[in-house]
Amino acid sequence: MLCGNPNIEASKPPELVATSPYNRTMLTRVVSFLTLTLGLLAQSRLAPPMVFVILGPPGSGKSTQSRLLGKNYKIPPIDLTRLVQTEMGKKSPLAQALKVSLASGDLIDDDAANELMKTRVLQQDAGRGFILDGYPRTEAQAKFLDAVLKDNGLPSPKVILLESPDEPLRKRLLKRHQADDSPQVIEQRLAEYREDSKFLTAWYKAENVMRVDATQSVEQVAAQIDALIADALAKKAFSTR
């Protein structure tokens, strides 16, 4: 009799076996794995080189978004401040010059900033692009960056501009309780940013500037950046020169 057939499970139609709870779970896992793998391949191998300059006032979340962007698109975040700190730990002529400059309260001069940046972006891990934080800050630096990118077949940078009114930034910075985040220092840093950003936003063409609402949560800011990048990729806006 049919009901006594020990092979009845094997005689089930294939579609019934495939839709069992166990098989549905396994299928979902396989699809998720393939989707993730293909996404990583698209980002690391198939996507064009991408260069970003992330710009925003103190407290706008530049470091956090640079880190997330680098993780998502497999390109290194490059922070000029960290490059300076690393260099100052060496016994090089540049390290000595930086120490003298900073000890006197001066800003890092263009030649030093350019040398640090060029050395870093020409390393192998930056061959598919990178994210710059804290550079360029002057016209000389912006011109130098353009020349380095052109010489190495990389596209003009896209500027990720994190925008926020001053008051939310003041609140964020005061909550951090860092030694250099006194109200007076915060006001000075915000004023310096406003002055510096005038040049940079004027230097880069409007179509190369991605404006992002930095008053949102970290996740919302990251999602808006991803959407803007996806739109730029669809328009082939990262094509090399």
Record the tokens describing residue 99, joined without a space. 């120490």
Please give the class, per CATH, of domain 51-79+129-234: alpha beta
Distance (Å, whole) CA 44 – CA 47: 7
- Tell me the mean pLDDT in the region 58-77: 95
> What digits encode the pLDDT tens for the residues 127-144?
999 999 999 988 899 999
Amino acid 40: pLDDT: 52
Top-confidence residue, 239 or 63:
63
What average pLDDT does this structure show over 116-131? 95
Q: Supply the pLDDT for residue 238.
A: 81
Query: What percent of the chain is predicted at pLDDT more than 90?
Result: 54
Record the pTM: 0.77
- Tell me: pLDDT of 43 over 80: no
Mean pLDDT of 2-11: 45
Residue 83 or residue 96, greater confidence: 83
pLDDT at 91 over 60: yes
Q: If you average pLDDT over every residue of the chain, what do you get? A: 83
More confident residue, 14 or 224: 224
Residue 5 has pLDDT above 80, yes or no: no
**In whole angstroms, what is the distance from residue 238 CA to residue 220 CA?**
23
Amino acid 1: pLDDT: 43
Contact between residue 221 and residue 162 where contact means Cβ atoms under 8 Å apart = yes
pLDDT tens figures, 168-185: 999 999 988 676 678 888
Higher pLDDT, 201 or 27: 201
